[in-house]
Structure 1
Amino acid sequence: MARTIATDRLGRGWPEAALPSRSRVVILGLSICCDPPVRVDGVPLEKRRFEINAQPPFAFDHILMSLRTPAGTVLEVITDEGEYRRAVYLEGRPALITVRMDGRATVPRLSVGVTAERVDAAVEASARRTVDRVFAATADVSGLETVFCQDQVMWATWQRCRGFRPVALPDLFEAIAWAIIGQQITVTFAAKCKRALTERYGERLAVENDEYLLFPKTEVIASLDESDLLALQFSRQKARYLVNLARQIVSGEFDLEALWSLTAEEASQQLQTLVGIGRWTAEYVLLRGLGHADSIPAGDVALQRAIGRAYYGRMATEAEVRLLAERWLPWRGYAAVCWWYTQRLDQLTKKRGPASRSALD
Structure 2
Amino acid sequence: MTIAAATARPAAAADASLRWHSGSGLDLLRTLGPLLRGASDPSFSVQGGVVWNAFTTPDGPVTLRLAPAGGGAVDARAWGPGAAAAVAAVPRLLGSGDDWSGFDEPAFHATLPRMVREARRQSRAVRLPASGRMVDQLVPIILEQKVTVIEARRAYRYLVHKFGSPPPAAPLAPAGLRLAPTPAQWLQVPSWEWHQAGVGPQRSATVMRALRSAVALERLAALPAAEAAAKLQTIPGIGIWTAAEVVQRTHGCPDSISVGDYHLAAYVGAALTGHRTDDAGMLRLLEPWTGHRQRVVRMIQASGFRKPTFGPRMTIQDHRRH
TM-score over 0.5 (shorter chain): yes
For residues 340 and 73 of structure 1, the distance between their equivalents in structure 2, rounded to whole angstroms, comes to 20
Q: CA 1:74–1:149 in structure 2 vs 1: closer, same or farther (change >3 Å)?
A: farther
Asked whether the 8 Å contact 1:68–1:78 carries over to 2, the reply is no
For residues 257 and 61 of structure 1, the distance between their equivalents in structure 2, rounded to whole angstroms, comes to 25
**Paired residue for 2:91?**
132
Within the candidate set 83, 99, 113, 2:50 is matched to 83
**Paired residue for 2:319?**
none
For residues 64 and 267 of structure 1, the distance between their equivalents in structure 2, rounded to whole angstroms, comes to 21
The alpha carbon displacement at 1:266 in A equals 2.5
Instruction: Find out whether 1:96 has 2:66 as its counterpart.
Output: no
Instruction: Find out whether 1:207 has 2:175 as its counterpart.
Output: no
Query: Aligned to 1:325, what secondary structure does the other structure show?
Result: helix
Decide which moves more: 275-284 or 228-237. Answer: 228-237
Larger-gyration structure (1/2): 1
Structure 1 regions of 5+ residues with no counterpart? 1-44, 348-361
Q: Output aligned runs, 1:106-125, within 5 Å.
A: 108-116=72-80, 123-124=83-84
Q: CA 1:175–1:98 in structure 2 vs 1: closer, same or farther (change >3 Å)?
A: same
Count how many residue pairs are aligned between Structure 1 and Structure 2: 290
For residues 69 and 256 of structure 1, the distance between their equivalents in structure 2, rounded to whole angstroms, comes to 21
Decide which moves more: 169-178 or 214-223. Answer: 169-178
Query: Aligned to 2:255, what secondary structure does the other structure show?
Result: coil
Asked whether the 8 Å contact 2:78–2:87 carries over to 1, the reply is no
The alpha carbon displacement at 1:83 in A equals 0.7
**Paired residue for 1:305?**
266
Query: Aligned to 1:227, what secondary structure does the other structure show?
Result: helix
The alpha carbon displacement at 1:280 in A equals 0.8
Q: Output aligned runs, 1:144-293, within 5 Å.
A: 144-146=103-105, 147-152=108-113, 153-169=115-131, 171-205=133-167, 206-208=169-171, 210-211=174-175, 212-249=177-214, 255-293=216-254
TM value normalised by structure 2: 0.79
Determine what percentage of the aligned residue pairs are the same residue.
Answer: 22
Query: Aligned to 2:89, what secondary structure does the other structure show?
Result: helix
Query: Aligned to 2:126, what secondary structure does the other structure show?
Result: coil
Q: CA 1:66–1:288 in structure 2 vs 1: closer, same or farther (change >3 Å)?
A: closer
Structure 2 regions of 5+ residues with no counterpart? 1-12, 308-322
Asked whether the 8 Å contact 2:151–2:198 carries over to 1, the reply is no
Query: Aligned to 1:144, what secondary structure does the other structure show?
Result: coil
The alpha carbon displacement at 1:278 in A equals 0.8
Asked whether the 8 Å contact 1:165–1:334 carries over to 2, the reply is no
Asked whether the 8 Å contact 1:59–1:163 carries over to 2, the reply is yes
Which deviations, in whole Å up to 9, do the C-alpha atoms of 1:94-151 show, x marking residues without a partner? Answer: 21111122233xxx211111122x57xxx42x12343223321353323332234421
